[in-house]
Amino acid sequence: MTYTIKQLADLSGVSVRMLRYYDEIGLLTPKRQANGYRIYTTVEIDRLQQIGFYRTLGFELSQIKALMNDSNYDPVSVLTSQLTALQQERQVLDGLIDNVQKSLRAAKGALIMTDQEKFEALKQQQISENQQQYGGEIEATYGQAVVAASNEKFLNLSQAEYDQIQTLTEAINVQLKQAFEQGDPASTAAQAVCQLHEQWLRLYWPTYSKAAHLGLAQMYLADPRFKKYYDKIEMGCAEFLVAALQIYLK
Q: What is the pLDDT of residue 135?
A: 55
Q: What is the pLDDT of residue 131?
A: 60
Given pLDDT bands bounded at 50, 70 and 90, which one contains residue 130?
A: low
What is the side-by-side order of every strand in the sheet holding 31-32? 3-4, 38-40, 31-32
Answer with the residue of higher pLDDT: 110 or 55.
55
pLDDT digit string, tens, across residues 203-219 = 888 889 999 898 888 88
- How large is the C-alpha radius of gyration of the chain? 23
**26 contacts 63 by C-beta, under 8 angstroms:** no
Q: What is the mean pLDDT of the chain?
A: 83
Q: What is the pLDDT of residue 126?
A: 65
Query: Considering the entire predicted model, what is its pTM?
Result: 0.48
Buried b (16+ CB within 10 A) or exposed e, 207-216: eeeeebbbeb
**19 contacts 8 by C-beta, under 8 angstroms:** yes
Strand partners, 228: none
Mean pLDDT, rounded, for 171-175: 96
Given pLDDT bands bounded at 50, 70 and 90, which one contains residue 53?
A: confident
Q: With pLDDT > 90 as the criterion, what percentage of the chain qualifies?
A: 42
pLDDT digit string, tens, across residues 103-121 = 777 677 776 766 566 556 5
What is the fold, at CATH topology level, of the domain defined by 3-68? Multidrug-efflux Transporter Regulator; Chain: A; Domain 2 (1.10.1660)
Question: What are the φ/ψ torsions at residue 15 (nearest 5 degrees)?
Answer: -65, 155
Which H helix or E strand runs over 65? helix 61-68
Q: Please report how many Cα atoms fall inside a 13 Å half-sphere around the Cα of residue 227, on the Cβ side.
A: 10
Domain ranges of the chain: 3-68, 75-154, 157-248
* pLDDT at residue 158 greater than cutoff 60: yes
In whole angstroms, how far apart are CA 122 and each of 100, 116, 220, 233? 10, 11, 25, 25
pLDDT digit string, tens, across residues 61-71 = 998 999 898 88
Beta strands 3-4 and 38-40 are antiparallel
Could you say which of 1.10.490.50, 3.40.50.80, 2.40.160.40, 1.10.10.10 is the CATH number of the domain covering 157-248? 1.10.490.50
